[in-house]
Structure formats: structure tokens, C-alpha cells
């Protein structure tokens, strides 16, 4: 059984971090940067994916971690829907969209980030990996 000692080791977190960086890059210029509502909402959704994975891991219980992964997956769906708005408004091109690490994969239209989150939940349920529990009250996560 694999053991995860810190949330930065989780593949879904790494993908979400890349996604967040990329959406900040593509939304910082052109007409996109002037649409404050969509730009900010997409940025918040991307940050929410990343944050929910981290917060769930830090909760230190499998049940709460799974719940927060569900929230992260919901934010991934929200982000994907907003990508359609940005595409239809011509703020981003199809090529830019496909370069985002969250975009569609071969798995029934689900995004790469959604698939990674789902795999993490499945592995937790199946006992294929565990989160490192704190030793003693208030102990820090090992680095």
C-alpha cells in the first residue's frame, strides 16, 4: 500500500497546480483580461480545485479527504463549463483550450483532472493508498 505524506505528492494536486498556473497565464491578456467576471470566476474555480485537494488531505481523515476530493471534482466541472464560455466568447482558442491540463481525455468526456480525482477516491476506497496520519496532537506533516 502506498503512503502519501503530503498533498504535493498527489497527482491530482500537481495537475491542478499546472491548470491554475495556465489559466492565470491565458487570462492575463487580450479581451479575456477585461472580462473581470469570467476571468475571476475561472481563476477561483481553478484555485478551488487545488485548495480542496490540499484541505481534504490536511483534514487527516479518509472520510473528509474523500468529501473534499468530491468538492474538487465539482470545481473541475465548473471550470470546464467556464472554458466553453471563454471559447464561445473567443477569449481562448481551441488550441489554447486543449493545452490546459484539465481538458477532455479519451474517458467519456471527463477531464484529466476529474479522472485523476476519481482515481484518487477509488484508490482510497480500495485501500491502495493511505494518507499519513499525524503522530500526536498538533504534529506537523512530515516533509
Over the stretch 23-79, which tens digit does the pLDDT of each residue have? 999 999 999 999 999 999 999 999 999 999 999 999 978 899 999 999 999 999 999
| β-bridge partners, 130 | 3
Under the phi-then-psi rule, with left for phi > 0, alpha for psi from -120 to 50, and beta for the rest, what region is 109? left
How much is the pLDDT for 64? 93
How much is the pLDDT for 104? 43
Write the pLDDT tens digit of every residue in 85-106.
Answer: 999 999 988 887 777 765 544 4
> Domains along the chain?
2-131 (1.20.1440.60)
How much is the pLDDT for 135? 44
CA distances for 139 relative to 8, 63, 70, 111, angstroms? 18, 20, 26, 35
How much is the pLDDT for 103? 54
The average confidence (pLDDT) of the chain is 83
How much is the pLDDT for 110? 55
Q: What's the CA gap between 74 and 57, in Å, rounded?
A: 17
* 21 has a pLDDT exceeding 90: yes
How much is the pLDDT for 101? 61
Q: What is the reported pTM?
A: 0.83
Amino acid at each position: 500500500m502506498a503512503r502519501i505524506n503530503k498533498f504535493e505528492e498527489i497527482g491530482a494536486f500537481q495537475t491542478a497546480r499546472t491548470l491554475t498556473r495556465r489559466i492565470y497565464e491565458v487570462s492575463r491578456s487580450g479581451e479575456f483580461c477585461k472580462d473581470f467576471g469570467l476571468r475571476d470566476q475561472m481563476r477561483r474555480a481553478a484555485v478551488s480545485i487545488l485548495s480542496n485537494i490540499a484541505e481534504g488531505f490536511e483534514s487527516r481523515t479518509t472520510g473528509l479527504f474523500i468529501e473534499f476530493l468530491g468538492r474538487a471534482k465539482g470545481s473541475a466541472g465548473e471550470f470546464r463549463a467556464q472554458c466553453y464560455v471563454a471559447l464561445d466568447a473567443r477569449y481562448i482558442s481551441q488550441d489554447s483550450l486543449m493545452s490546459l491540463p484539465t481538458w477532455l481525455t479519451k474517458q467519456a468526456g471527463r477531464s484529466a483532472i476529474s479522472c485523476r480525482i476519481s482515481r484518487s477516491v477509488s484508490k482510497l476506497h480500495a485501500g491502495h493508498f493511505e494518507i499519513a496520519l499525524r503522530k500526536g496532537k498538533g504534529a506537523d506533516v512530515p516533509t
